[in-house]
Structure 1
Amino acid sequence: MQPYRIFIGYDPREAVAYHACVQSIIDWCKEPGKLQFTPVRGQRRDGSNDFIYARFLVPHLCGFSGRALFLDGDMIVRADVRELFDLPMLYRGVRVVKHDYKTKHLVKYLGNKNEDYPRKNWSSVVMWDCGFFPHRILTPEFVAKSSGSYLHRFEWLKDDQIGDLPAEWNHLTMEYEPNPAAKLYHYTVGTPCFHEFRIQEGADEWYSTYRRLIAPIDHGR
């Protein structure tokens, strides 16, 4: 049985977001026994988050073999992740949602700058073909010395080696128009766990997921 290997960014400043993301995946998965979660955390280079560069070590962590999914932690899913694992890679090294937008918010959670740059948020949901040969360059040493722009734009790959994911698998709340059919809410400006972002598209679903996460176990008492 091939597991669904899922790497999720973990930021201790919003640890609850990681756990809510995991809970949502379990809730929707028809084969939860195949789920294999790994929190991703690395050395912080800037004011963003700990896992911003560590995500590019997923192929290395998987022994450059098989497939794996990376997700930022500030998300909940609304469909079965099997849909992503069932997509053919078609000789692509990765599949991503190819966002093309300018942010509506210059400041995001915890006062961090929210700057525009090419291919912004492409790397926030990544289906990896870990065995794709060009990924062999992604060693810890190489990732440590590479620039953020090089990594987040997938510049070690040719453009035709970067495949697409359906847009509903990385819907940016507070940036895009509401989409009730979204299969993944990405709270990219700020997760509802932060007071100032508690009211936004998908906030009710985030809190519902959170409540299931912390609900006490009923021992029949």
Structure 2
Amino acid sequence: MKKKLLNNVFIGFDQKEAIAYHTFVQSLIDVSSVPLSITPLAENNLYGYDEKHSDGTNKFTYSRFLVPYLMGFEGLAIYFDGDMICLDDISKLTKNVDKNFAVKVVKHNYKTKQTKKYFGQKNENYPRKNWSSVVLWNCSHPQNKILTPDFINSKDGAFLHRFKWLDDKQIGEIDKKWNWLAVEYEDITDPKLIHYTLGTPCFNEYKNTSFSENWTKSFNRLKQGFDEN
């Protein structure tokens, strides 16, 4: 198997939401047409990085920006938040990529419908909200080589999540269906990836909300083979 056929996938991991991570991985496996190299961005696994920020809403608020560094600043990789379900083959995201782009993202432009999200956390509006929740990284791009552990620890969330180390022309765009925000956006019949940004259906308050049936289907697939008696 040639290496170029692999899709390098990095997913945010927080033990408080571990079941969401594993359910998302199940959904990726179910729809992928090529082998996946999946890496959880777990805080205890990130060699060379000691988290200094204290304002993150989860354990991967800042570690997502390590992806180019973890890839040795070579090749393509896709980062996803852990609170998602994939419904289409992610290899479509890595085909015919314009290498002039340092990253490609879904360029959301919305105001949240809820002031609180999972665990009662504040849910505030800010520029480029959720742009960094799905990122196609061109790890070889010269502008991304600045993303060392020390650099990331020296910058605040506004700088990093708004991709301020890049010129806007270096930020490409992904179809919105690849980061469809449950509850925040209207229900559609053909999302490619659903993002439960307010809370996954593993939490009681979200178990019957928008697109919850898609999450439950992948969760049930994950449990196959276990004795539930």
What's the TM-score once normalised by structure 1's chain length? 0.95
Query: What corresponds to 1:40 in structure 2?
Result: 41
> Is the 2:178–2:192 contact (alpha carbons within 8 Å) kept by the matching residues of 1?
yes
SS at match of 1:143: helix
Contact 2:56–2:62 (8 Å) recurs in 1: no
Gaps of 5+ in 2: 44-50
Q: 2:203 & 2:56 partners in 1: Cα distance? A: 17
Counterparts of residues 164-179 of structure 1 (less than 5 Å): 164-179=173-188
Moved more, 177-186 or 39-48: 39-48
Q: Deviations over 1:42-62 (max 9, x none)?
A: 446235100010000000000
Matched-pair identity in %? 48
User: Does 1:139 pair with 2:142?
Assistant: no
Residue 199 of structure 2: which of 190, 195, 201 is its match? 190
Between the aligned partners of 1:217 and 1:55, the Cα distance in structure 2 is 32
Partner of 1:213: 222
- Could you tell me how far apart the structure 1 residues matched to 2:97 and 2:56 are? 36
Alignment of 1:1-221 (within 5 A): 1=2, 2=4, 3-31=6-34, 34-42=35-43, 43=51, 45-46=54-55, 48-216=57-225
Aligned partners of 1:29 and 1:80 also within 8 Å = yes
- Aligned-partner residue type, residue 145 of structure 1: S
Report deviation, 1:23.
0.4
Q: Give the whole-Å Cα distance in 2 for the aligned partners of 1:87 and 1:12.
A: 35
How far residue 89 of structure 1 moved from its aligned partner, in angstroms, is 2.4
- Partner letter of residue 188 of structure 1? T
CA RMSD of aligned residues (A): 1.3
TM-score for the superposition, normalised by structure 2: 0.91
**Paired residue type of 1:198:** K
Change (3 A) 1:196 1:170: same
Whether the 8 Å contact between 1:89 and 1:95 is mirrored in structure 2 is: no
Amino acid at match of 2:30: D
CA–CA distance in structure 2, aligned partners of residues 18 and 62 of structure 1? 21
Aligned-residue offset at 1:14: 1.0
Deviation per CA, 1:73-108: give whole Å up to 9, x if none: 000100000111114124000000000001001000
Quote the offset at 1:41 in angstroms.
2.9
Stretches of 4+ aligned residues off by more than 4 angstroms: none
How many Å apart are 1:217 and its aligned residue?
6.5
Aligned residues between the structures:
216
Deviations along 1:109-153, whole A, 9 cap, x unmatched?
001100110000000000000000011110000001101000000
SS at match of 1:106: coil
